[in-house]
Structure 1
């Protein structure tokens, strides 16, 4: 189960005709309470889609009763008409559920620039269909997770059962996975009794070490949203450490699934930086490698080209001596103290799981950033995305 694993939640996923290829494309998640605490983290992209602009305002008070999500159009750069579409969507959900429009979070995914009359009509039709289909249980949660897929090859769901309470979640995303304190669309639910300020701290602590360290292609979405809703239906009030640990575990599971479904990837790469002067330095160094097209192309070609690693990390302002660095590819130390070490032929890059370890010998901090290789399939899929 995913968003329906926690008590107090119902969900639905329906087909409203937004996808040219057919299939489910509108999802609805409802918090039946008794609490309506909520927190969210949104893309830091200055170019924000209309649903993000709406949802940022609506959740300012720390509450939410429902989340409506659609595939088939991002409703971004669609002008005043697009924002009105988002507003009308929230109003329709509110009307069907007997709540206020401000209690509704709106999320969209798909092609930028899509948001005409036909799109609006499809989304509103989807609201009605989803409201009629709302249900608890596994099937409803799976239907919602399937409805928000775009280029995803499979739905992403995760659940953690903690001490008397549950955290569940669903996510979509297979490209444009770059840090903006969120990654594509994620809805998390819990039946714990948690107030909004604590939910917000737990969510930000979780996203910082999970979604924010997933850097598939260095491209940041306009629609990235991570939502966390608490129903309080379990009657359990966990402390901050417990709720943060559970939310982080679900976010980490979902981030791994997003990582493994990156568009066209043939290698799932974990770049671990050890012995950095600070955690921030470790993240900066790992991300510099994750965003190197030369490095990513080398991995696609099964080439353990450690020179591209050193070239990438040398562009950062992190504190380390580039001539004292060790680099390991899948357990083989190919570079020691900035010089060649083991022969490249000893490295096996044929498995999909790929480990890069960079030892800076500059301190005690560590961090891992997840990325993937740059493939022909990725280029093809994104060149034909709008066709």
Structure 2
């Protein structure tokens, strides 16, 4: 049920003709509950798409009635006309729902530079169809409609004492922090105020989506939205809510990783005993973005030397000659030198776990990435972005 698992929400996914495949390409998620609380985090890319510019303004007062999402076109670098398209999208949804356009968020994903008159007409038609199709059972259709190069839809739900959180996500390429080529909508029927919703969402994304770094490429359209309907009537324990929201975000991030374009390995890089969290993130990310390391994993080669070479480029506080490295449970490097023979390491499973012990402090962080494959290169040479 995804985004409609929580009380007070309806959703739809419809075909507007934006995709050449004829598959669903416009989704609408509406909050029908007594509260209209909303929060969102956005790409840190300075080149922001028109829907991002609109939604940043719309969410600033903490009130969100609905989210309209389209795949099949990013509406990025489409000038004033493209921003007007986003504005008209919000106005169309607001008119049909009987609310203010300033309380409608808009998200787009697809080819950068797409957003002409035909695109606009199809999106507006999709909004009309989507609102007409709204249903408390429409979560699965909405999750399908936001897919681009995704091969499967991504959803997650957590139910707690009297309240629920449900979410959907899309993303398969350009997966890098800030946030990761993704559109995410998360709903809850818990009673929250706007400040708490914003704080909880920022924490959850910080330790989930911001640590997904599949290919080091940052999108222009990333948006993660949290809607709270208050329909359960339950005010959750703040720590319990934050933990559940974080669990939903981590599950969605892992599903994004598992569907990364062309990948044959899902790599978890765990950095232990760093002097600080920021050091741990920097070290983990240096490995996640190292093409030599990623190519080695694709070839099932436990090349720990490439790990040490990558982390040596960082400013993190550690001694390279004291670092230990494990790959899939086998310590292949100890104190910056060889340990177990490479033959002891089995990298044939898709799930790959790399542990880097810096021996410099107490901080531990996980970074999620993928290997570099022929299929990834082929897919991204065939798909313009």
What is the TM-score when the length of structure 1 is the normalising length?
0.98
Equivalent in 147, 154, 163 of residue 165 of structure 1 = 163
CA shift at 1:386, angstroms?
Answer: 2.9
1:174-253 to 2 correspondence within 5 Å? 174-181=172-179, 183-253=181-251
In structure 1, C-alpha distance between the alignment counterparts of 2:160 and 2:261, rounded to whole Å: 33
8 Å Cα contact 2:172/2:181 also seen in 1: no
* Aligned equivalent of 2:67: 67
* Aligned equivalent of 1:151: 149
8 Å Cα contact 1:19/1:72 also seen in 2: yes
In structure 1, C-alpha distance between the alignment counterparts of 2:147 and 2:318, rounded to whole Å: 42
CA shift at 1:183, angstroms?
Answer: 4.8
CA shift at 1:73, angstroms?
Answer: 0.2
In structure 1, C-alpha distance between the alignment counterparts of 2:242 and 2:304, rounded to whole Å: 37
8 Å Cα contact 1:183/1:212 also seen in 2: no
In structure 2, C-alpha distance between the alignment counterparts of 1:242 and 1:182, rounded to whole Å: 26
User: Per the alignment, in what secondary structure is the counterpart of residue 142 of structure 1?
Assistant: helix
In structure 2, C-alpha distance between the alignment counterparts of 1:332 and 1:309, rounded to whole Å: 15
8 Å Cα contact 2:180/2:218 also seen in 1: no
CA shift at 1:239, angstroms?
Answer: 2.7
* Aligned equivalent of 1:115: 115
* Aligned equivalent of 1:52: 52
In structure 2, C-alpha distance between the alignment counterparts of 1:332 and 1:158, rounded to whole Å: 32
* Aligned equivalent of 1:22: 22
8 Å Cα contact 1:269/1:354 also seen in 2: yes
In structure 2, C-alpha distance between the alignment counterparts of 1:386 and 1:133, rounded to whole Å: 32
Task: Give the root-mean-square deviation of aligned CA atoms.
Answer: 0.9
In structure 1, C-alpha distance between the alignment counterparts of 2:8 and 2:182, rounded to whole Å: 25
* Aligned equivalent of 1:290: 288
CA shift at 1:182, angstroms?
Answer: 5.7
* Aligned equivalent of 2:336: 338
* Aligned equivalent of 1:313: 311
CA shift at 1:240, angstroms?
Answer: 1.8
CA shift at 1:207, angstroms?
Answer: 0.5
In structure 2, C-alpha distance between the alignment counterparts of 1:246 and 1:340, rounded to whole Å: 41
8 Å Cα contact 1:182/1:207 also seen in 2: no
8 Å Cα contact 2:173/2:181 also seen in 1: no
In structure 2, C-alpha distance between the alignment counterparts of 1:181 and 1:245, rounded to whole Å: 20
In structure 1, C-alpha distance between the alignment counterparts of 2:181 and 2:167, rounded to whole Å: 13
* Aligned equivalent of 2:252: 254
Which shows bigger deviation, 271-280 or 5-14? 271-280
The Cα offsets for residues 308-329 of structure 1, whole Å up to 9 and x where unpaired, read as: 0000000001100000000111
What is the TM-score when the length of structure 2 is the normalising length?
0.99
In structure 1, C-alpha distance between the alignment counterparts of 2:216 and 2:79, rounded to whole Å: 26
User: Per the alignment, in what secondary structure is the counterpart of residue 228 of structure 1?
Assistant: strand
* Aligned equivalent of 2:273: 275
1:88 aligns with 2:88: yes
The Cα offsets for residues 180-221 of structure 1, whole Å up to 9 and x where unpaired, read as: 146510000000010000000000010011001000100000
Q: How many residues align?
A: 385
* Aligned equivalent of 1:36: 36
In structure 2, C-alpha distance between the alignment counterparts of 1:249 and 1:329, rounded to whole Å: 25
In structure 2, C-alpha distance between the alignment counterparts of 1:232 and 1:342, rounded to whole Å: 55
User: Per the alignment, in what secondary structure is the counterpart of residue 203 of structure 1?
Assistant: helix
In structure 2, C-alpha distance between the alignment counterparts of 1:249 and 1:271, rounded to whole Å: 18
8 Å Cα contact 1:271/1:369 also seen in 2: yes
In structure 1, C-alpha distance between the alignment counterparts of 2:64 and 2:104, rounded to whole Å: 6
In structure 1, C-alpha distance between the alignment counterparts of 2:180 and 2:332, rounded to whole Å: 34
8 Å Cα contact 1:5/1:166 also seen in 2: yes
User: Per the alignment, in what secondary structure is the counterpart of residue 271 of structure 1?
Assistant: strand
* Aligned equivalent of 1:132: 132
In structure 1, C-alpha distance between the alignment counterparts of 2:250 and 2:291, rounded to whole Å: 25
8 Å Cα contact 1:41/1:182 also seen in 2: no
